[in-house]
Structure 1
Amino acid sequence: MTKKRHYLRETIPAGTPNASKEADKAVRRLQNQVDERRQPRTSATVNQLLDRYFLEADLEFSTLDTYRGYAEKHIRPLLGSQKVGSLDAGVMDSLYVELRRCRDHCKRNRGLVDHRTAREHECDGRCLPHECRPLSSSTIRQIHFVLYGALRRAIRWKWVTTNPIAGAEPPAAPKSNPRPPTPEHAARIINEAFKDPDWGALIWLTMVTGQRRGELCAIRWAHNDLDNGVLHLEKAIGQRGKKKWEKDTKAHQDRRITLDPDTVELLRDHKARCATRAAALHAKLKDDAFVFSLAPDGSTHLVPDSVTQRYGNLARRLEIKTTIHKLRHYSATELIAAGVNIRTVAGRLGHGGGGTTTLRAYTAWVSEADQRAAGSLAARMPSRPGASPAVAFTDLDPSSPYERIAVSLRSQILDGEFQVGLPIPSVKQLAAEHGCSVSTVQRAVKLLNDWGLVELNSGRRTLVKHISAAVAPTVTSTAQIAPATAGQSAGQPQPLDLELQLLGKSIAKFRAEADPGSTTDLRQLLVGAIRRRGGDIADIGDYELTVRLAGNVDLMTTFVATK
């Protein structure tokens, strides 16, 4: 660039034994570098390399700001004065060792203090003795990639001929371990959030679509086709400190997501509330208004960091250890558990690579799939000696599609619609009837087999089994709580079909064993059902529990608890 000659230098210290011979060897080494075009063509330092790299790098603002922060805190203090041509894998490995030792790069001097602030202050109990803490593996890997990218540019600029850190070994990528909320926690979060309907709508949409917080903050009403149930995602809100801006989505994708009828209805109600508030203040809700906004006319978007803070406060109130990003994990997990193929899940989440990122980063469903595999293997195992030949009915709160299908088929079998010894419809027929995948129906049939209602035969139709007296539900026609049924003593638990209703509307059905004449038993069942549905026990007076003997359509009683 300057047209000046560039010299390669190597110094042999004075007093070195055989200094003349060592100098001759150094000359030959430098000549070989020139002949093989391996010599650095610049004496620029790492600081100069980073300055030019950040000036020319085409990176998104928040990414570039993060990289600059890594450079200022970790790269420049340790390598800034080093010449680019002198970097090699050994230097980089030494850097990683230092980063794993102490993130503050202390000098190992005793008496160091970790002050609570860098400003002038009077030390108190919050200023503690220094304790070396390593950088995380993911941060060290990002520092490696910053230097790797800068040195790739150096090769293009002909500063060096090879990337000197290509042979360095950064820490291995940490294994993904997403921890989505459990269904019970999700129900509690939703119920708490809907104390503010607008906030509840945002949390609901986050759970249903699995979108990032910035993408949800950027949704405008013009992006919603509520008539066709489609949400259009094309922008996101970026934030770095106090700076906020509208940008493309993380993967620069323009995607559309289908919404279920409940979510469409929720958005319609939310829009009606927004329009009513705007009209009350003599404003108008425009088509390009933000869906989630604190402004009456929807002219401004929510701040992503504020959304995170509010959700964190909600989780702390409920004593649930989670973050808003884990709702994204929750959505992916529930979709996979419901039998949705991985490419569809990846498309909804905005992942590229045909689902590779989804499988690598969102693996919370592996345990669920493992349970299915274990169940499939157990079904093919021979019976254990002395094991009970029958499988008792289990308590069930049918929330998954395959469970609802199994409950429906169970009712048809118990009602005699499918005769003993005859086959039930094929899985393809049942899948078409219920509008689901074949794998979902197969899981439902497997559940019927576990209950002892059907017989699975490889290569043949699934047959309805004869239900033994030990397994069959007691069928007794009665409209009141009887002190005892035939063959049972008073107070003995009986299999019951129970239905939970909220203000007269059925919200759950399940089976359990209890004494139908015991108010204590029925109250425990009612409280447990309310909690499983995420309800508030303080509202127990709004719920009622209808009680029937298992397999009998006649109502025994309706239990209502006092507060």
Structure 2
Amino acid sequence: MKVYAGTDPISGKRNDLTETIPPGPAANREAQKALTRLLGQLDERRNPRTRATVGQLMDRYFEVLDVGETTIGTYEGYRRNHIDPLLGDLQLARLDGEVLDSFYADCRRCRAHCRPGRRAIDHRTDRPHSCDERCGPHRCRPLADSSISQIHGILSGALKRAVRWRWLGTNPLEAAQRPTPGRTDPHPPSAEQASAIATEAWHDLQWGMFVWLALVTGARRGELCALAWDRINFATGVIAIRSSIAQRGKKTWEKDTKTHQQRRITLDDLTVALLRAFLRHCTESAEGAGLTLPTDARIFSPVPDGSEWLKPDSVTQRYTRMCARLGWDMNLHELRHYSATELIAAGVDVRTVAGRLGHSGGGTTTLRVYSAWVSEADQRASSSLAGRMPVLPMGIETDGEMSAIAKPISETSAPYLRIAEDLRAAIRCGALKLGDRLPTVAELAKRYQVAISTAHRAVATLTEAGLIAVSRGRPATVAVEQLEPRPHEEPAGTAR
């Protein structure tokens, strides 16, 4: 059966919908059914209008795609390594949910798309070489979930265009299982590692300033490379992030930030002082070379007058080599994670952190990437709040029931309760009398080896009980006469 479906918009040739019916006594009836199906597809515009392949669709899609040069380079890599080898020659009319699910499954099996059961060698380079220990039997490694998710996004954009262009009647991607997006798992350096990294970097003044700003601001590498001196307001301590340096191969250029948003970051006093000193150093270096440092000179530059910027790839490679000397396998982007996690740990709200990092979505991205640290900060906040809650009145217990009788203080009681009980016992036995001065909060903290806040809470407990008097600028004193012993205690000096 053959039904005319118009002209192929790609080749300009006649486009027919065909279906072959096997011979037999029911051939005529089956042919009528096939004709009805084909005409239905044509009426509902579900039929493909072209015999174009996935590769031809990708060619056309990349021609009209409006993204940055670095992004298109990433897309071309995914297409070259994964889409074209498996789907490039397949006609769009034969692309369906089963084919796409099989494609994603193959990506999860092996990123090289090897043939199962076939022995192969993984060579260290594609160039002519003599094999050594770096070459060996092929081992299948799955493609990362985040990479499969990006491939899905490329196919989704192309197939949506194909439907709008009437190359396809329906989007076959709707019948496929959407790949699970990769979960972000940042690994920021610890405080000790960050200190060691900064110390190592300061052997070179410019490199040390670069790493320091990366730690403090959490800016991306391209944003740091694009910084200029006229973007720092030393009076207010604010630095403006307006652009970024992109790189593809050896080519570099200045562009908008990743989210196309400018932002301002407030710097601490130490960082401002370091930048002042570095500016003096750059000015002296330019004068020593017989040059003048312009106000819009790049802060980090390979030339004395700051007329050029550092290459992002070179910065990344230098950082990786520095960390390797320290015995760590780290990348420059982890300094951005360090800045974010330290801010969250310090109690800074997520929207402010998102603003400093340049995340779009009002903090949605920040919450998704740093959810574990946000949760940890929330737990610390609850602990801090519990330490500042009012003292429970006598007789109220927290073991699941209310008791009319207070439990005696023991070694397992909270530290502030033990301190308060010791002071109460000293008043009870007469060691501390009316008007006597109590040890200061600092002295109590040192004596009991607890935090200042814990000692302060012990004093507050006795103050609320009316046992001691506290006034601003004066030491705490005993406010009552000798206490009567508790029912379960014997009076002081009682002989057995």
TM-score when scaled to structure 2?
A: 0.77
Indicate which of 11, 19, 28 corresponds to 1:10. Answer: 19
Q: What is aligned with 2:442? A: 414
C-alpha separation in 1, matches of 2:466 and 2:128: 80
Q: What is aligned with 1:184? A: 192
State whether residues 99 and 134 of structure 1, in contact with CA within 8 Å, keep that contact through their aligned partners in structure 2: yes
Give the direction of change, closer, same or farther, for the CA distance of 1:196–1:27 in structure 2 (3 Å limit). same
**Cα deviation 1:241-282 (Å, max 9, x = unaligned):** 222111110000111111121111111111111111111110
Select between 58-67 and 448-457 the one with higher mean Cα deviation: 448-457
State whether residues 8 and 30 of structure 1, in contact with CA within 8 Å, keep that contact through their aligned partners in structure 2: yes
State whether residues 454 and 465 of structure 1, in contact with CA within 8 Å, keep that contact through their aligned partners in structure 2: no
Indicate which of 340, 344, 347 corresponds to 1:336. Answer: 344
Indicate which of 27, 39, 45 corresponds to 1:37. Answer: 45
**In the alignment, residue 70 of structure 2 is paired with which amino acid?**
S
Secondary structure at 1:252 match in 2: coil
**In the alignment, residue 77 of structure 1 is paired with which amino acid?**
P
Shift of residue 450, structure 1, vs aligned partner: 3.7
C-alpha separation in 1, matches of 2:105 and 2:123: 25
State whether residues 178 and 329 of structure 1, in contact with CA within 8 Å, keep that contact through their aligned partners in structure 2: yes
**Cα deviation 1:309-363 (Å, max 9, x = unaligned):** 1111222222234322111111111212222221111111001111111111123
Count the aligned residue pairs.
417
Q: What is aligned with 1:369? A: 378
Q: What is aligned with 2:154? A: 146
Q: What is aligned with 1:97? A: 105
State whether residues 107 and 143 of structure 2, in contact with CA within 8 Å, keep that contact through their aligned partners in structure 1: yes
C-alpha separation in 2, matches of 1:305 and 1:246: 14
Shift of residue 448, structure 1, vs aligned partner: 4.4
Q: Rg: which structure is higher?
A: 2
Shift of residue 166, structure 1, vs aligned partner: 2.0
State whether residues 224 and 230 of structure 1, in contact with CA within 8 Å, keep that contact through their aligned partners in structure 2: yes
State whether residues 88 and 164 of structure 1, in contact with CA within 8 Å, keep that contact through their aligned partners in structure 2: yes
Give the direction of change, closer, same or farther, for the CA distance of 1:338–1:16 in structure 2 (3 Å limit). farther
Shift of residue 212, structure 1, vs aligned partner: 0.3
Secondary structure at 1:232 match in 2: strand
Q: What is aligned with 1:212? A: 220
C-alpha separation in 1, matches of 2:160 and 2:24: 37
Q: What is aligned with 2:359? A: 351
Q: What is aligned with 1:160? A: 168
Q: What is aligned with 1:387? A: 411
- Across the aligned residues of Structure 1 and Structure 2, the Cα RMSD in angstroms comes to 3.0
**Cα deviation 1:369-409 (Å, max 9, x = unaligned):** 334435656989848985344639xxxxxxxxxxxxxxxxx
TM-score when scaled to structure 1?
A: 0.68
Q: What is aligned with 1:271? A: 279
C-alpha separation in 1, matches of 2:459 and 2:44: 76
C-alpha separation in 1, matches of 2:467 and 2:280: 53
Select between 247-256 and 112-121 the one with higher mean Cα deviation: 112-121
**In the alignment, residue 266 of structure 1 is paired with which amino acid?**
L
Give the direction of change, closer, same or farther, for the CA distance of 1:316–1:120 in structure 2 (3 Å limit). closer
State whether residues 241 and 264 of structure 2, in contact with CA within 8 Å, keep that contact through their aligned partners in structure 1: yes
State whether residues 255 and 350 of structure 1, in contact with CA within 8 Å, keep that contact through their aligned partners in structure 2: yes
Structure 2 residue runs of 5 or longer lacking an equivalent are 1-8, 400-406, 417-438, 445-449, 469-496
**In the alignment, residue 415 of structure 2 is paired with which amino acid?**
V
Give the direction of change, closer, same or farther, for the CA distance of 1:91–1:390 in structure 2 (3 Å limit). closer
**Cα deviation 1:167-200 (Å, max 9, x = unaligned):** 3223312222222112122112212211222111
Q: What is aligned with 1:52? A: 60
Structure 1 residue runs of 5 or longer lacking an equivalent are 393-410, 417-445, 467-563
C-alpha separation in 2, matches of 1:464 and 1:348: 48
Secondary structure at 2:174 match in 1: coil
Shift of residue 455, structure 1, vs aligned partner: 6.4
**Cα deviation 1:91-110 (Å, max 9, x = unaligned):** 11011111112212222353
Q: What is aligned with 2:428? A: none
C-alpha separation in 2, matches of 1:36 and 1:465: 88
Give the direction of change, closer, same or farther, for the CA distance of 1:66–1:9 in structure 2 (3 Å limit). same
Give the direction of change, closer, same or farther, for the CA distance of 1:29–1:390 in structure 2 (3 Å limit). closer
Give the direction of change, closer, same or farther, for the CA distance of 1:228–1:375 in structure 2 (3 Å limit). closer
Give the direction of change, closer, same or farther, for the CA distance of 1:260–1:122 in structure 2 (3 Å limit). closer
C-alpha separation in 1, matches of 2:151 and 2:464: 59
C-alpha separation in 2, matches of 1:284 and 1:188: 35
C-alpha separation in 2, matches of 1:464 and 1:352: 54
Give the direction of change, closer, same or farther, for the CA distance of 1:114–1:413 in structure 2 (3 Å limit). same
Q: What is aligned with 2:424? A: none
**Cα deviation 1:454-485 (Å, max 9, x = unaligned):** 4678xxx989998xxxxxxxxxxxxxxxxxxx
Q: Which runs of structure 2 are paired with 1:413-562 in the superposition (5 Å)?
A: 413-414=441-442, 448-451=452-455, 453-454=457-458
**Cα deviation 1:142-164 (Å, max 9, x = unaligned):** 11110100011112212123221
Give the direction of change, closer, same or farther, for the CA distance of 1:412–1:247 in structure 2 (3 Å limit). farther
**In the alignment, residue 258 of structure 1 is paired with which amino acid?**
T
Shift of residue 304, structure 1, vs aligned partner: 0.9
Shift of residue 5, structure 1, vs aligned partner: 4.3
Q: What is aligned with 1:64? A: 72
C-alpha separation in 1, matches of 2:457 and 2:288: 60
Q: What is aligned with 2:423? A: none
Give the direction of change, closer, same or farther, for the CA distance of 1:462–1:292 in structure 2 (3 Å limit). farther
State whether residues 454 and 464 of structure 1, in contact with CA within 8 Å, keep that contact through their aligned partners in structure 2: no
Q: What is aligned with 1:199? A: 207
Give the direction of change, closer, same or farther, for the CA distance of 1:124–1:20 in structure 2 (3 Å limit). farther
Q: What is aligned with 2:430? A: none
State whether residues 89 and 165 of structure 1, in contact with CA within 8 Å, keep that contact through their aligned partners in structure 2: yes
Secondary structure at 1:40 match in 2: coil
Indicate which of 213, 219, 226 corresponds to 2:234. Answer: 226
Q: Which runs of structure 2 are paired with 1:246-325 in the superposition (5 Å)?
A: 246-325=254-333
State whether residues 236 and 248 of structure 1, in contact with CA within 8 Å, keep that contact through their aligned partners in structure 2: yes
Q: What is aligned with 1:400? A: none
Secondary structure at 1:244 match in 2: strand
**In the alignment, residue 411 of structure 2 is paired with which amino acid?**
A
State whether residues 152 and 179 of structure 2, in contact with CA within 8 Å, keep that contact through their aligned partners in structure 1: no
Give the direction of change, closer, same or farther, for the CA distance of 1:387–1:321 in structure 2 (3 Å limit). farther
C-alpha separation in 1, matches of 2:467 and 2:323: 47
C-alpha separation in 1, matches of 2:328 and 2:464: 43
State whether residues 238 and 244 of structure 1, in contact with CA within 8 Å, keep that contact through their aligned partners in structure 2: yes
Q: What is aligned with 2:494? A: none
Give the direction of change, closer, same or farther, for the CA distance of 1:317–1:463 in structure 2 (3 Å limit). farther
Give the direction of change, closer, same or farther, for the CA distance of 1:462–1:287 in structure 2 (3 Å limit). farther
Q: Percent identity?
A: 48
